[in-house]
Amino acid sequence: MTGQMNRKELLNHINQVSFAVDEVKLYLDTHPCDQEALVYFHEYSRKRNEALNEYARAYGPLPIDTASESCTERWN
């Protein structure tokens, strides 16, 4: 997990790991057999999901896929 980050630090962390995920996805488009890049992709995807879930628990969801059922009921 990301530990005891405040809201701004957590958003910065999410931006950093999201950037890393996006960049390695682009690389993997042209180098699909690079096992090291694939491991990197899985590691940073996991870190991104953990950070997004931590943010959603503390401050509310950023993307819709981290919203809980109780959150989505507000939009009905």
Give the three-state DSSP class for 21. Answer: helix
Q: Are 60 and 22 in contact (CB under 8 A)?
A: no
The pTM assigned to this predicted structure is: 0.78
pLDDT in tens, the chain (76 residues): 566 889 999 999 999 999 999 999 999 999 999 999 999 999 999 999 999 999 989 998 887 666 555 554 554 4
* Distance of alpha carbon 66 from alpha carbon 38, whole angstroms: 24
Alpha helix (H) ranges present in 1-76?
A: 7-30, 35-59, 69-73
